[in-house]
Amino acid sequence: MIEPMADPRSEAQFHRLRTPRSAAIAGIVFGVLFATCVALLAAAMPATASAPWARGGSQITTALFLAPIAGIAFLWFIGVLRDRFGDLEDRFFSTVFVGSGLLFLAMTFVSMALAGALLAVSRNANVPENDIVYFGREVMLHVTNVYAVRMAAVFMISLATMWWRTRLMPGPLVIATYLFAVVLLVVVSFSLWVALVFPAWVLAVSVYILATDHRQSVRPREGGG
């Protein structure tokens, strides 16, 4: 029996893909940009339904520009987290982890689209602003603070559970993740400032990943010198 010849291109032309170390910066980019979007929207939107509409057109426009970039960075952040698990990744928790992250991102985009629609309606003098704008505002707040925030909490809980079982992250960071997730699950508030908890957590995790990766890359050089 003649054995098939090995493809000489398998080693000469093809290379295994590796996650670049700089990809961990994506979490920092997401944390900064998403927090900026939330702050801009919170400053432009009225505090209550009965309050006068704050015409912060430039603030909302800036938030609409930054939101897609933050979403792309969040996808990279998910990829960085999955890469760190490697063969230790569990299918059940990974499904919940990735699914909740994608749902959070989708709901965030829906919320930003509603903010853009509110801006367009407020600029149209022929539209009854008080009725439509306040309706859209309430829908946006429900999408963000009821659904997107809860999906962010599920994202954090599933990830913290995987970290706890694999010991890839230190115990204090895992416990803090659980605590922040419980806060997002339990707190019922229609203030956009509550959504800042999640980007702050992502920023902290990304800084830790960058710091540990830097230490691991420096040690071999020190030992070899």
Higher pLDDT, 216 or 83: 83
The proportion of the chain whose per-residue pLDDT surpasses 70, expressed as a percent, equals 75
Q: How far apart are CA 144 and CA 49, in angstroms?
A: 16
Q: Is the pLDDT of residue 159 over 50?
A: yes
Q: How far apart are CA 184 and CA 177, in angstroms?
A: 11
Q: How far apart are CA 153 and CA 147, in angstroms?
A: 10
Q: Is the pLDDT of residue 193 over 90?
A: no
CB neighbour list of residue 98: distance below 8 Å, 6 or more residues apart: 78, 82
| pLDDT at residue 41, rounded to an integer | 87
Task: Please give the average per-residue pLDDT across 105-124, as a whole number.
Answer: 85
Lowest mean pLDDT among 64-78, 82-96, 199-213: 82-96
| pLDDT at residue 87, rounded to an integer | 78
- Mean residue pLDDT of the chain comes to 80
CA 84 remoteness from chain centre: 17
Q: Is the pLDDT of residue 130 over 70?
A: no
Contact 193, 40 (CB under 8 A): no
Q: What stretches of the chain show up as alpha helix (H) in DSSP? A: 9-12, 25-44, 57-85, 91-122, 129-142, 149-166, 171-186, 197-224
Higher pLDDT, 51 or 27: 27
Token pair listed for 115? 């903010």
One-letter identity of residue 64? L
| pLDDT at residue 20, rounded to an integer | 56
Q: Is the pLDDT of residue 105 over 90?
A: yes
Higher pLDDT, 46 or 177: 177
pTM: 0.79
* Residue located via tokens 């590796």: 18
Q: How far apart are CA 182 and CA 150, in angstroms?
A: 9
| pLDDT at residue 220, rounded to an integer | 45
